Amino acid sequence: MDKTLNKFVAEYLWSDKVVHYSAWRRKLIDALRLLYVVLDDLTKGELTLRAMSLVYTTLLSLVPMMAVSFSVLKAFGMHNKQLEPIMLQFLAPMGAQGVEITDKIIGFIDNVKIGVLGAFGVALLFYTAISLIQKIEATFNYIWRLDQPRSMGRRFADYGSVMLIGPLLVFSAIGLSASVLSGSFVQTISTHVPFMQYLIAFVTEAAPYLMIIAAFTFFYMFIPNTRVTFRAGLVAGIVSGVLFQSLGWGFGSVVVSASGSGTYAIYSGFAILILFMMWMYISWLILLVGSSVAFYVQHPEYISPVRRSGDLSIRQRETLALQVMAIIAQRYYQARKPFSASDFVYRLRVQIQGVTRVLLALKHAGLVTENHEDPPRYLPSAPLEKTSLKTVIDAVRNEGTMQVVALRVPRKPVHGVAEVTAAIDAALEAALASITVREMALGEADEELDDAARRGAIGIGEKIDTDS
């Protein structure tokens, strides 16, 4: 277990003895494993680096994004001042400085006059706003091991709807909850039923926390370009909400309260900006840690102290390619809906990087093709009754092959290697060239595969003995 956070802790958490523990103890070990891999990802520095990048992007895009988002509210008679409670809630750990920053941001938004910008100005404003969400999506896709982002059309459709409709839904939910809690019916019940008074007080106090958890959960389910289960999003939302409130209290108590003799003494007038950037960094880091939690909850096969990069050996890639082709063939002949890359992950319980790499190799070899859905689903692009298993194996083995660099002095061959590789190729040809993907997928070649395996093993042994 090399290249891990702590070798001894990893050996204990992933010990073979865990399977013999009681149920509650195994649940505790599972939670500790999740905590371990998240901390391990943090110590590698990639999440912190991306959080710093998002802070810079936020400084450039915050005002344009909020101006675009809340411009639709003006059509419903709402004013930007109604943003103030939400901004104050987010910047509450900064104390009095949070109030000052909120006033400045709302002032900036009020000064943005979309009607006088012109077509180019409005387009630039939308592009600046969308670039922030695009940057967030790229970071989430990295955490979720996804190589394929949303298409340009989906980005404008999805992001635009969130920026324009999202604020309206948020304010509607806040207004509805406030009207329900202050309604005459609820007030009458609370007067006659003492328990309802405590319940309403609890709901009123818990509403900000529930809104934060709901916002985090929405982010984790919407932003990644893959299907995120509600369970994974909710668990991550709860973790992020607790972290946000806890670290917010710590930031306000330790950093901001001590800034009179520390930060202000050093940075003077820039202290507010520095504190704002620090809190933005902490907030983005919380969001990314929660996304990592959601990923590991949905993909427990990645909860391992090593090899979370998804690298597969050549043999594993060959096996995965045969499994993928078999599933594609079975669903094709049964006239069922084809699989996407995520569907292969859930069906085979393998890591997404291996699946995408194998699908790319099969696509380059002309064996599979993508349909026009988003995300794409995979169909056969060659006759399965004529595609041999040797062709599938070759597609994976030859993927990424580079031409040998020409040298003035030719390389001196290594004795015996060419003969062994030729023997392996001949054995594969003899064993798999006559068996098609259709026969493998529909179970029509079981006996033939057994005979071919025996013939291939004997053929390799005889060839090597003869050459030696």
pLDDT > 90 fraction of the chain, expressed in percent and rounded: 16
Residues of the domain holding 446 = 314-467
Looking at residue 79, its pLDDT comes to 58
Confidence band, pLDDT 50/70/90 cuts, at residue 391: very high
Give burial (CB, 10 Å; 0-12/13-18/19+) of 410.
Answer: exposed
- Does residue 373 form part of some domain? yes
Same-domain status, 243 and 279: yes
Q: pLDDT tens digits, residue range 68-109?
A: 666 666 666 665 566 677 777 777 777 777 777 878 777 777
CA triplet 252, 256, 257: central angle to 5 degrees? 90
Confidence (pLDDT) at 338: 92
Let me know: does 406 contact 439? Beta carbons within 8 Å: no
**63 plus 186 within the same structural domain:** yes
Same domain flag for 343 and 391 = yes
User: Does some domain include residue 14?
Assistant: no
232 and 336 assigned to the same domain:
no
Residue range 437-465: mean pLDDT, rounded: 61
pLDDT at residue 210 in the model: 80
In a domain, 397, yes or no: yes
User: Which of residues 66 and 446 earns the better pLDDT score?
Assistant: 66
Look at residues 302, 333, 357 and tell me which one is the last residue of a structural domain: 302
What DSSP character marks residue 380?
A: E
Split at pLDDT 50, 70, 90, the class of 336 is: very high
> What is the predicted pLDDT for the residue at 273?
78
**Contact predicate 464/423, CB 8 Å:** yes
pLDDT at residue 234 tops 90: yes
So what's the pLDDT on residue 457?
A: 47
369 phi/psi in degrees, rounded to 5: -140, 160
Q: Identify any residues that bridge with 436 across adjacent strands, giving them in sequence order.
A: 388
How many domains, the chain? Answer: 2
pLDDT at 461: 42
In a domain, 194, yes or no: yes
* DSSP secondary structure string for all residues of 269-314: GGHHHHHHHHHHHHHHHHHHHHHHHHHHHH-GGG-SSS-TT----H
Is position 81 within any domain?
Answer: yes
The answer to whether residues 78 and 139 belong to one domain is yes
Better-scored residue on pLDDT, 166 or 22: 22
Identify the CATH number of the domain in which residue 451 sits: 1.10.10.10
What's the confidence (pLDDT) of residue 466? 40
Structure tokens at 177: 């909850």
Last residue of a domain, one of 302, 330, 365: 302
Q: Based on the domain organization, do 212 and 235 belong to the same domain? A: yes
Cα gap 308→302, rounded to integer Å: 6
Task: Look at residue 11 and tell me if it is in a domain.
Answer: no
Q: Which range is least confidently modeled, 133-142, 354-363, 451-460?
A: 451-460
In a domain, 49, yes or no: yes
Both 179 and 251 in one domain: the answer is yes
Q: Do 161 and 231 fall within a single domain?
A: yes
Residue 5 belongs to some domain of the structure:
no
HSE-CB for 366 with a 13 A CA cutoff: 5
Run of H or E including 239: helix 230-250
Model confidence pTM above 0.75? no
> Which of 14-28, 375-389, 442-456 ranks highest by mean pLDDT?
375-389
Angle at 41 between CA 38 and CA 42, to 5 degrees: 90
pLDDT digits (tens, 9 = 90+) for 8-50: 888 888 888 888 888 888 889 988 989 998 998 888 888 999 9
Higher-confidence position of 208 and 172: 208
Could you give the CA distance from residue 321 to residue 402 in angstroms, rounded to a whole number? Answer: 21
Same-domain status, 228 and 377:
no
Q: Are residues 188 and 110 in the same domain?
A: yes
Residues 194 and 109 in one domain: yes
Domain boundary among 302, 330, 350: 302
More confident residue, 427 or 208: 427
pLDDT at 467 over 50: no
- Domain co-membership, 282 together with 382: no
